[in-house]
Amino acid sequence: MEAEHGLVHRRWWTPYLFLLPGLGMVLTFSLWPFVNTIILSMTDAQILRGGTFTGLDNYVRALDDPAFWTALFNSVLYTAVVVPAVVLLPLALAVLVERKVPGIGFFRSAFYTPVIASAVVVGLMWQWLLRSDGLINTVLGRLQLISEPLPFLTDSTLLLFSAMIVTVWKGLGYYMVFYLAALGNVPRSLHEAAAIDGAGAVRRFFHVTIPSVKPMMLLVGTLSAISALRVFTEIYILGGESGGPGGDSRTLPFLIREVGLGFAGETGYAAAISILLFLLTLVFSLLGHRLSKGDER
């Protein structure tokens, strides 16, 4: 009886023992760095010098910094263009490759290949395609559609949109897999009933497929928005260390790296911009969560 009582007595805390390693990892590598970044953002710390407490001065400085507003505008523009494309194009691709026809596995693999490729390799490939003597300008010139090469990599606006194309192209296969899983759960009887009622392929797509995969579309939109706000590699590879001509194509992660890098790097100011980026990401995440809740109702 005492042995049974002891066994029951031990059971209430035994599960917590299994949680402790994971909890320790979260506290050490996620929560503490986040708290430390908040503290650092309220100092004038530099790379080689400890800082003193300055309160909200770094945040006030960011709001008065034209470079911050340019980077913020670029990040929001990047998200506003990339997210709709990433939500819709992979869905269309998934609908095309969902059909079970001979050889469809090859196309699924081909569309997924960019996902497993390194972002640096993808960036270098697109740099070769988009430069003034690259394949795209050469083809457009041979077709006599342009009289001189388009400055994809030397114009700040075109550079930003070129990076968006790279992001969308690389994400197509990744989010296509999400939609393939969602499409597999759509009851075939719904399509058959709609077809009996005379609905064509287009009407079935908008009235059966879209409502069925809407939760997945919201999830893809949220994930792609978070990813777009953190974009760095594409702009770095295409535009170089300065973030394009005059640094006008810099996004917030690019600005954080630029401000905090080097022996004179202002880590306190960079931390403040990081917190502002976190708040912006949190807004998009909460918006996606709210839309998901509204859809469930």
For the stretch 98-138, pLDDT in tens is: 877 777 888 888 888 888 888 788 888 888 899 888 899 99
pLDDT, tens digit (0-9, with 9 covering 90-100), for 246-274: 778 889 999 999 998 877 789 999 999 99
Residue recorded with tokens 């296969």? 173
Tell how far CA 215 is from the center of its chain.
18
Is the separation of the CB atoms in 235 and 251 below 8 Å?
yes
Is the separation of the CB atoms in 239 and 159 below 8 Å?
yes
CA atoms of 213 and 199, how far apart (whole Å): 19
Helices (H), 66-206: 66-97, 104-116, 119-130, 135-142, 156-184, 188-196, 201-204
pLDDT, tens digit (0-9, with 9 covering 90-100), for 13-57: 788 888 898 999 988 888 999 999 999 999 998 887 778 898 899
* pTM for the whole structure: 0.84
Within 10 Å of residue 62's Cβ, how many Cβ atoms?
A: 22
Q: 4 vs 18, 167, 257, CA distance in Å?
A: 22, 60, 59
